Amino acid sequence: MIKDAGLGLRRSFLYDIYDYDIKPNWFEIAPENWIKRGGPILKQFEKIRSDFPIACHGLSLSIGSPDPLDFKFLEELKQFLDYYQIDIYSEHLSFSMEGGKRFYDLLPLPFTKNMAEFVSEKIMQVQDYLKRPLILENISYYLTLEEEISELEFINYILEKTGAYLLLDVNNVYVNAVNHGYDPKDFIKNIKLDRVKYMHIAGHLDYKEDLLVDTHGEKVKDDVWDLLEFTLDLTGNVPVLLERDNNIPPYQEILEEYKKLESIIKKVQEKHARI
Amino acid sequence: MHEFEIQKKFAEACRTGKLDDLNVDKERLQLYTEIIAINVEDALVNAFPILNTILPEEVWEKVVRDFMKEKLTTPYLWQLPEEFMEYILKSKWKNALDIPFLEDLLMYEWLELELFYRNEVEDEKVFNWNQSFDLNTNVEIINFKYPVHKINLYDYDEMVGLKGSYPLILYRNLETNEIEYIEITPFLYEVIGLIIQGKTPLEAVEEIASKYQIDYMEVLEPLEQFFKKLTAKKILI
């Protein structure tokens, strides 16, 4: 069971987490980095798995791809989730494969009714196969391929149609709001908050005045912390995960940010307890 | 669905860096092509740092760009270097790169990475001449044509001039988790080859000693020390 603050588990601090008094409540991993792997690293992961709740956050499902679902991959994924008894599996509302070739990056989908229907069908297939609800993340994106309906309508339609949950990435909302000129708070107020299973927070790069890049390679910006607090105020007690994928500092520094996340969650919880 | 056509054009632009087919902000499209190329290149440079150093930058970039156009099929980024290795060895680049020790170098660099992530069998077997043994799963036995495992000792021309036979046991040391190698003779390479196929050490030594016209009785004692070292390190199990 994941609750309150969690941390994205990274190889660079895999052996550090037992050395500090502060321990994250839960960790998130990318299953693709662990499936079919072994050796000392896997042993350490198994120790961590036995001590902490783990959520899986996938990268290669490519749910919006024009290609059919990769059932060989899904089979390996299901075996992994079942073996480690991991119930929480999230992915991205995006595509990362076309014509059988992958990108190892998350590409935006055309925001059309057809695409929303097409993706919904595939989500339901995946949910049936994995015997788990899918939790889908709103990705950051730098260009709009087509916008027959808004991103917000696109996401809400899919959540409604499929029964899938939302992994609300607050940093992505902020990045997209700057990149595409909308109000992040309006977006959050109008997304299906009752479907939010957990949230992400991460750092981004100020690439240009009107273009932010979702690098996960810097500290979380103050505006994003504020947006998280605003969101938690609306969602109530939803778990939040701190992500750091690039330019990873010493673990102690990551823990400082983690403590900040904990303090914001606690502040909102205390406020809600009073009202 | 016309959306598929848009996705296809977008995907093609991301792969090739050719941005003209899509009616979107070119600067932002360029950002995608750069991010994707960096992701792929980082994975490959980390896996093949020596090949990356040997190849001129513009050649490396061409190989990577061709690879991106034609492959990238695995859902696991960690498997991408193996796909890259197979791509190079089956494409025009194998000859075009004109590196005599290319195949050995690719294999050595890939195994250095891959062996680290292999599970091992943990039980130790006591050596016995009449028992069957197998290689542990964290071990590879390999016969290189060039001494690529010592590439830091030679410059390019020296390496090319050292064409020969370099049998090795390559393994993850189970105490340190470092990837290490043991250089072996062609004789031992063949003996171990037979052991892996199911012969006992004694049968294997008899057979190969006969091939090399050696009295096998004379080599048993030094070989026993060697095999005991391999079982102690859980290389032979």
Ramachandran class of B186: left when φ > 0, alpha when ψ lies in -120 to 50, beta otherwise = alpha
> Which pTM value belongs to this model?
0.94
> What's the rounded mean pLDDT across residues A66-72?
97
pLDDT value at position B129?
Answer: 96
Are B44 and B125 found together in one domain?
no
Q: How far is B19 from chain A (nearest CA, A)?
A: 13
- Domain residue limits at B137: 120-232
Find the CB nearest B71 among A35, A101, A115. A101
In a domain, B115, yes or no: no
- How many A/B residue pairs have CB atoms within 8 Å? 113
DSSP per position, chain A: ---SEEEE--GGGTTTTTSSS---S-EEE-GGGTTT--HHHHHHHHHHHHHS-EEEE-SS--TT-SSPP-HHHHHHHHHHHHHTT---EEEESSEEEETTEEEEEEEPPPB-HHHHHHHHHHHHHHHHHHTS--EEEPPP-S--S-BSS-HHHHHHHHHHHH--EEEEEHHHHHHHHHHHT--HHHHHHHS-GGGEEEEEE---EEEETTEEE--S-SPPPHHHHHHHHHHHHHH-S--EEE---SS---HHHHHHHHHHHHHHHHHHHHHHHH-
pLDDT value at position B19?
Answer: 78
In a domain, B30, yes or no: yes
Q: Chain A contact for B51, CB < 8 A?
A: no
> pLDDT tens, A79-114?
999 999 999 999 999 999 999 999 999 999 999 999
Are B156 and B92 found together in one domain?
no
Ranges of chain B with pLDDT below 70: none
Are B224 and B154 found together in one domain?
yes
pLDDT above 90 covers a percentage of chain A that reads: 97
Find the CB nearest A102 among B25, B72, B138. B72
Are B159 and B221 found together in one domain?
yes
> pLDDT tens, A194-245?
999 999 999 999 999 899 999 999 999 999 999 999 999 999 999 999 999 9
In a domain, B109, yes or no: no
> What's the rounded mean pLDDT across residues A169-196?
97
Domain A5-274 in CATH: superfamily?
Divalent-metal-dependent TIM barrel enzymes (3.20.20.150)
Find the CB nearest B29 among A60, A104, A143. A143
Q: Is the ipTM of this complex over 0.90?
A: yes
In a domain, B188, yes or no: yes
In a domain, B112, yes or no: no
In a domain, B105, yes or no: no
- Count CB atoms within 10 A of the CB of residue A121: 11
Q: Which residues contact B39 (CB under 8 A, 6 or more apart)?
A: A103, A104, A105, B77
In a domain, B24, yes or no: yes
B6–A110 C-beta distance less than 8 A: yes
Residue B184: CATH number of its domain: 3.90.930
Are B143 and B194 found together in one domain?
yes
Indicate the number of domains in chain B: 2
DSSP per position, B199-229: --HHHHHHHHHHHTT--HHHHHHHHHHHHHH
Domain termination site, one of B48, B64, B98: B98
Are B129 and B94 found together in one domain?
no
Q: Chain A contact for B24, CB < 8 A?
A: yes
Q: Chain A contact for B11, CB < 8 A?
A: yes
Return d(Cα A194, Cα A192) in angstroms, integer.
5
Domain termination site, one of B68, B98, B128: B98
Domain boundaries along the sequence of chain A: 5-274
Return d(Cα A232, Cα A268) in angstroms, integer.
7
In a domain, B223, yes or no: yes
A104–B72 C-beta distance less than 8 A: yes
Are B76 and B144 found together in one domain?
no
To probe the interface with A, which of B3, B23, B34, B67 has the most A CB atoms within 10 Å?
B3
